[in-house]
């Protein structure tokens, strides 16, 4: 692989993720509306929302600190960076070795800490409440996520996502029991980390239940737009991590232009499926009480640990 | 050229002596604190810098030793510097340089006598730590160790008029001495009754496996008492906060690291012949210490106590690295063992830097507001913007967030844990990654804790609109205080961004200590990349990482500006349209920890008083206590009191009885000594 083609792939993938992320959000919302017998909004609605928000004047609380205004950009930057690490379209991207799965979890943690800090910045009661709940969910979701990734890392002997995907995509088709546990754990983490039902409800502003929405209450206009966009990229990144770990077939190698159309088509098909599944899950499940969230997530953590132990028992 | 530079050993000795001289000069009568502030502390900081440079050089040079004709007759002091000592001297020098600089500004408003005394004890304290690391025989080691304990004891009881400070100091002294006894016995076991206590002789002695394990246990608990490992941690959250902030920084940042030094020196170097069972014990105690530390830190509302509990936690992380390294080396995988050892030592350095910084930051808050209780703070980012910036760096670093330094060492620890499949023993192989899982949990809890600290102290609105306590200056850190914090903050960034340089240095330490470094492929990668084993397996490039994150963030900013506008209106906070807001409605530190109390309830000893619904003057109180007090410390204390009461029966207060005792003792001696 020559470097220029690699960089071209890298840029292409990063731009693709940023542009396609709201579409995935729109698709999930549309599916959910269908499942719930509502008239579905346009799949492009998230783009129009972003455009509307960017055009508005920002309203900021008087005593906001610079941290508050910096955070949306940091969040967006972190998520964009994550989108560059995950092998979405191709493996072997030139930027991939700069950060492995542990660093990827670190990026998500960095974004979480910044958003929690920004939520506490204004000093409103909801901000602090949201920050506290978000960190509560985060401290359990993060180790569960790491353990899931470690299980995959043990199978391929590497913490590089690109190596993991290469190993998993080009193996003989075999069912790994450890990956089954890890997959279940990953799904639970995905729901929690992306503020979806049953942990959080992205469509509510009910004081008693909101987590993520409580943190971004004070944001408006372009800041809010960046945060919403970052949230969309985060969901996209998580879904593609899941795809990369559990159904990686069809991914291209960086620099291989001929495989690209197939890779894009495969990705879109897999995402459409995953988005529909997410909508179905969200329709079937009810939101848990906040204090059941730790139980939900510790179950995820234990499943991931079980997956790791299974790997040692069965495959070693 | 190299001939002109002082030899590392001579130079380090000169620095230590220079610190002692500064301490002696501080005794001179002075009318104000100007001497201590303008000369003693800055000079001490310069000496620290020199020591850091010398230590760095010692890492790359062959070991050097020296015999000083001091001490008792026929028992001279042996000194030696090798890469391990060089590394720890670098840590001591570099961190103490920042703390001394800060101290030069910090003691601005205090009385001359008090500052002179602090300067005296402080410099004796740093000099004794240097001697601990230079010592090459058990005798000098114990002398330096005890000097360190005593000088820090006097620093802890600087505010000896407060009864709580006195009892904290006593507890510290007590546990320090329990540890010292264990260390002394450990040296005794290692020498095996031959009476030669130079480290060379101890190294050469071949212990039977049983005695080696006894020596290991003594060293582990002896040094562990100083490090703050459970269950011997109780002194740490009492003593560290009681001292003035630069001293807390020194104790938490550097002093507990001398215990890690001692542990590594004795276990790897002097005892040798490492066994993996030892590693499992270290791992278990390390994981317990780590989780205990962070869970109790989350319950604290006193900023300095909270930081002290985090020191307990970080010692646990270091022990986790050491334990893994013992497991790997003990089961015949020295390369993986070297990686784990390097991770542990890296975290030792990182913790020294960021914990020093955080304690200094808490000192600046204390100076400006007179507050230590988080529940009274709020909105300090507007009052103390510079302290807030440095504190943020420290908070992000300790939360193990990329691209700062805390992340690098936790990353290396994870990488070491991921080497587990090479182990043969199935149980050990699956236990090691489990400990990595606890590390992930502790890392995320730390992030939560520092969101709490930063969010409550620096962000939001000031909580109680109260009069500032006496002695509060009301202004941000300035001058020397800022330089001290800036130095340590720069350390957090540099250690995070250029990890491969540190890795090379630690590789040398590991190679000299265990005879084994990292794999060749790991060492030949370029300075941009941190590669612990092989590029295929894992790599991390913090510079590229940072560059991309900054570039992407900037790009987002510029794009938004270019295509839209930068218009901003300022208004009251919205808060879901809730009109009656007051600063008292913000989360407090205790409230922030509430979910953790809920999840981990059985771990805490909680005394919570909720007001009844018809209480006219409702008061809420919450007290969290450490369970260790009730099952360990108080029973032991009661036992000690009981035994002392029995022994006190001997004390009759009549001369004739005492003479009888003397007579009986002599008689007994005559029986034995014949």
Counting Cα atoms < 13 Å in the Cβ hemisphere of B328 gives 29
CA-nearest residue to B581 within chain A is A124
Total number of domains in chain A: 1
**Rounded Cα–Cα distance for residues B390 and B477 (Å):** 11
- Report the first-to-last Cα separation within chain B, whole angstroms: 63
Q: What is the pLDDT of residues B136-158, one digit of tens each?
A: 988 899 999 999 999 999 999 98
Is A313 within 8 Å of B430 when comparing Cβ atoms?
Answer: yes
Q: Which of A47, A100, A106 to mutate to test the interface with B (most CBs of B within 10 A)?
A: A106
Is B545 within 8 Å of A81 when comparing Cβ atoms?
Answer: yes
Q: Cα distance from B170 to chain A (closest Cα, Å)?
A: 37
Q: What is the pLDDT of residues A158-190, one digit of tens each?
A: 888 888 888 877 766 567 788 888 889 999 999
Does residue B181 surpass a pLDDT of 70?
yes
Average pLDDT estimate for B119-145: 92
Q: Cα distance from A82 to chain B (closest Cα, Å)?
A: 10
Q: Where are the beta strands (DSSP E) in B246-378?
A: none
Q: What is the pLDDT of residues B339-379, one digit of tens each?
A: 999 999 999 999 999 999 999 999 999 888 888 888 888 88
Three-state DSSP state, A249? coil
Q: Cα distance from A276 to chain B (closest Cα, Å)?
A: 30
Counting Cα atoms < 13 Å in the Cβ hemisphere of B660 gives 8
**Rounded Cα–Cα distance for residues A305 and A141 (Å):** 13
- Helix and strand element counts for chain A (H, E): 11, 3
Phi-psi region of A195 (alpha: psi -120 to 50; beta: other; left: phi over 0): left
B556 and A76 Cβ atoms separated by less than 8 Å:
yes
CA-nearest residue to A131 within chain B is B451
**Rounded Cα–Cα distance for residues B69 and B58 (Å):** 23
Position B76 scores a pLDDT of 87
Question: Could you tell me what percent of chain B has a pLDDT over 70?
Answer: 98
Q: What is the pLDDT of residues B382-401, one digit of tens each?
A: 888 999 999 999 999 999 99
CA-nearest residue to A315 within chain B is B421
- Going by the DSSP 8-state scheme, the letter that residue A92 receives in this structure is S
Position B467 scores a pLDDT of 58
Counting Cα atoms < 13 Å in the Cβ hemisphere of B627 gives 11
B148 and B129 Cβ atoms separated by less than 8 Å:
yes
Q: What is the pLDDT of residues B232-268, one digit of tens each?
A: 888 998 888 888 899 999 999 999 999 999 999 999 9
**Rounded Cα–Cα distance for residues A112 and A119 (Å):** 11
Q: Which of B540, B567, B591 sits opposite A103 (nearest CB)?
A: B540
Q: What is the pLDDT of residues B260-290, one digit of tens each?
A: 999 999 999 888 888 888 999 999 999 999 9
Is A291 or A52 the better-scoring residue by pLDDT?
Answer: A52
Q: Which of A58, A125, A132 sits opposite B568 (nearest CB)?
A: A58
The answer for residues whose C-beta is within 8 angstroms of residue A144's C-beta and 6 or more apart is: A185, A188, A189, A297, A300, A301, A303, A304
**Rounded Cα–Cα distance for residues B544 and B536 (Å):** 18
Q: What is the pLDDT of residues A69-118, one digit of tens each?
A: 889 999 999 998 888 888 888 777 778 788 888 999 999 999 999 999 99
CA-based torsion, B477, B479, B484, B489: positive or negative: positive
CA-nearest residue to B397 within chain A is A110
Closest listed residue to residue B492, CA positions, set B349, B385, B384: B349
Q: What is the pLDDT of residues B310-334, one digit of tens each?
A: 999 999 999 999 999 999 999 888 8
Q: Cα distance from B242 to chain A (closest Cα, Å)?
A: 29
Position B1 scores a pLDDT of 41
> What is the full DSSP assignment across B462-530?
-SS--PPPTT---S---THHHHHHHHHHHHHHHHHH-HHHHHHHHHHHHHHHHS----HHHHHS-TT-B
Structural domain boundaries enclosing A78: 3-315
Three-state DSSP state, B96? helix
**Rounded Cα–Cα distance for residues B591 and B452 (Å):** 10
Enter the tokens of residue B143: 């002398």
* Residues facing residue A58 across a β-bridge: B568
**Rounded Cα–Cα distance for residues A240 and A231 (Å):** 14
B588 and B594 Cβ atoms separated by less than 8 Å:
no
**Rounded Cα–Cα distance for residues B331 and B283 (Å):** 15
- The interface predicted TM-score (ipTM) is 0.93
* Residues facing residue A89 across a β-bridge: none
Is B571 within 8 Å of A308 when comparing Cβ atoms?
Answer: no
Q: Cα distance from A113 to chain B (closest Cα, Å)?
A: 7
Q: Which of B573, B588, B601, B602 to mutate to test the interface with A (most CBs of A within 10 A)?
A: B573
Is B576 within 8 Å of A217 when comparing Cβ atoms?
Answer: yes
Q: Which of A21, A53, A77, A95 to mutate to test the interface with B (most CBs of B within 10 A)?
A: A77
Q: Which of A72, A80, A120 to mutate to test the interface with B (most CBs of B within 10 A)?
A: A120
Q: Give yes or no for a cis peptide into B231 (omega within 30° of 0).
A: yes
Is B430 within 8 Å of A129 when comparing Cβ atoms?
Answer: no
B145 and B86 Cβ atoms separated by less than 8 Å:
no
């Amino acid at each position: 692989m020559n470097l220029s083609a690699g960089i071209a792939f890298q840029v292409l993938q990063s731009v693709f993720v940023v542009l396609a992320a709201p579409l995935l959000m729109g698709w999930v919302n549309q599916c959910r509306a269908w499942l719930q017998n509502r008239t579905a909004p346009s799949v492009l609605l998230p783009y129009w929302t972003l455009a509307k928000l960017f055009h508005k004047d920002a309203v900021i609380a008087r005593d906001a600190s610079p941290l508050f205004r910096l955070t949306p950009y940091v969040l967006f930057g972190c998520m964009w960076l994550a989108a560059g690490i995950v092998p979405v379209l191709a493996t072997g991207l030139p930027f991939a070795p700069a950060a492995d799965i542990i660093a990827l979890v670190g990026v998500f943690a960095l974004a979480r800490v910044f958003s929690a800090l920004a939520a506490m910045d204004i000093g409103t009661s909801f901000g602090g409440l949201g920050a506290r709940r978000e960190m509560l969910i985060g401290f359990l979701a993060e180790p569960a996520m790491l353990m899931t990734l470690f299980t995959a890392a043990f199978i391929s002997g590497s913490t590089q996502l690109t190596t993991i995907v290469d190993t998993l995509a080009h193996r003989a088709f075999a069912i790994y029991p450890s990956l089954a546990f890890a997959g279940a754990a990953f799904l639970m983490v995905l729901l929690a980390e992306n503020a979806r039902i049953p942990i959080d409800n992205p469509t509510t502003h009910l004081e008693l239940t909101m987590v993520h929405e409580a943190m971004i209450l004070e944001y408006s206009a372009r800041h809010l737009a960046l945060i919403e966009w970052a949230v969309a990229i985060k969901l996209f990144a998580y879904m593609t991590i899941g795809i990369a770990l559990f159904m990686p077939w069809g991914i291209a190698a960086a620099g291989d232009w001929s495989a690209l159309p197939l890779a894009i088509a495969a990705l879109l098909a897999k995402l459409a499926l995953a988005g529909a599944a997410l909508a179905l899950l969200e329709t079937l499940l009810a939101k848990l009480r906040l204090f059941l969230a730790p139980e939900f997530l510790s179950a995820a953590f234990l499943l991931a640990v079980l997956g790791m132990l299974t790997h040692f028992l069965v495959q070693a | 050229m190299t001939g002109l530079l002082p030899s590392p050993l001579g130079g380090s000795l000169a620095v230590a002596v220079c610190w002692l001289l500064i301490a002696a000069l501080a005794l001179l009568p002075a009318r104000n604190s100007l001497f201590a502030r303008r000369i003693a502390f800055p000079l001490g900081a310069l000496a620290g810098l020199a020591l850091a440079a010398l230590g760095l050089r010692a890492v790359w040079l062959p070991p050097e030793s020296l015999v000083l004709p001091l001490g008792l007759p026929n028992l001279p002091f042996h000194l030696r510097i090798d890469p391990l000592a060089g590394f720890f001297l670098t840590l001591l020098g570099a961190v103490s340089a920042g703390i001394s600089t800060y101290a030069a500004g910090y003691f601005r408003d205090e009385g001359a006598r008090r500052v002179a005394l602090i300067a005296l004890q402080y410099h004796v304290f740093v000099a004794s730590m240097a001697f601990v690391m230079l010592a090459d025989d058990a005798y000098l080691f114990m002398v330096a160790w005890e000097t360190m304990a005593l000088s820090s004891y006097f620093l802890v009881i600087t505010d000896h008029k407060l009864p709580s400070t006195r009892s904290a100091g006593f507890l510290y002294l007590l546990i320090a001495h329990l540890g010292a006894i264990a260390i002394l016995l450990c040296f005794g076991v290692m020498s095996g009754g031959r009476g030669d206590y130079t480290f060379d002789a101890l190294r050469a002695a071949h212990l039977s496996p049983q005695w080696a394990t006894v020596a290991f246990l003594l060293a582990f608990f002896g040094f562990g008492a100083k490090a703050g490992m459970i269950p011997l941690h109780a002194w740490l959250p009492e003593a560290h906060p009681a001292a003035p902030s630069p001293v807390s920084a020194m104790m938490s940042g550097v002093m507990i690291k001398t215990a890690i030094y001692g542990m590594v020196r004795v276990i790897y170097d002097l005892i040798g012949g490492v066994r993996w069972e030892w590693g499992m014990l270290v791992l278990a105690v390390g994981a317990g210490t780590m989780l205990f530390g962070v869970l109790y830190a989350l319950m604290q509302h006193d900023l300095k106590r909270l930081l002290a509990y985090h020191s307990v936690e970080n010692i646990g992380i270091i022990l986790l690295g050491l334990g893994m390294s013992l497991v790997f080396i003990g089961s015949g995988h020295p390369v993986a063992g070297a990686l784990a050892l390097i991770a542990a030592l890296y975290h030792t350095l990182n913790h020294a830097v960021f914990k020093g910084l955080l304690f200094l930051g808490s000192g600046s808050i204390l100076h400006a507001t007179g507050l230590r209780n988080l529940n009274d703070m709020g909105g300090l980012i507007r009052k103390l913007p510079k302290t807030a910036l440095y504190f943020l760096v420290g908070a992000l670093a300790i939360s193990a967030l990329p691209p700062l330094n805390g992340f690098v060492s936790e990353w290396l620890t994870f990488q070491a844990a991921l080497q587990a499949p090479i182990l043969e023993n199935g149980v050990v192989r699956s236990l090691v990654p489990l400990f990595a899982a606890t590390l992930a949990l502790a890392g995320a809890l730390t992030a939560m804790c520092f969101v709490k600290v930063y969010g409550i102290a620096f962000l939001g609105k000031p909580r109680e609109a109260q009069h500032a306590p006496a002695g509060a200056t009301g202004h941000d850190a300035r001058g020397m205080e800022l330089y001290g914090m800036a130095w340590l903050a720069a350390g957090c960034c540099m250690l995070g961004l250029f990890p491969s340089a540190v890795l090379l240095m630690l590789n040398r330490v590991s190679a000299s200590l265990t005879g084994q470094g990292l794999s060749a492929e790991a060492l030949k990668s370029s300075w941009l990349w941190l590669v612990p084993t092989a590029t295929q397996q894992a790599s991390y490039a913090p510079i590229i990482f940072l560059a991309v994150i900054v570039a992407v963030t900037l790009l987002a900013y510029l794009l938004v500006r270019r295509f839209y506008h930068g218009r901003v209106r300022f208004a009251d906070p919205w808060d879901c349209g809730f009109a009656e807001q007051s600063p008292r409605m913000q989360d407090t530190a205790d409230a922030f920890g509430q979910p953790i109390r809920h999840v981990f309830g059985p771990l805490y000893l909680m005394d919570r008083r909720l007001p009844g619904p018809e209480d006219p003057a409702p008061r809420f109180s919450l007290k969290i206590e450490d369970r260790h007090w009730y099952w360990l410390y108080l029973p032991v204390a009661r036992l000690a009191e009981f035994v002392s009461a029995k022994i006190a029966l001997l004390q009759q207060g009549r001369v004739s009885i005492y003479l009888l005792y003397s007579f009986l003792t002599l008689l007994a001696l005559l029986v034995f000594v014949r």
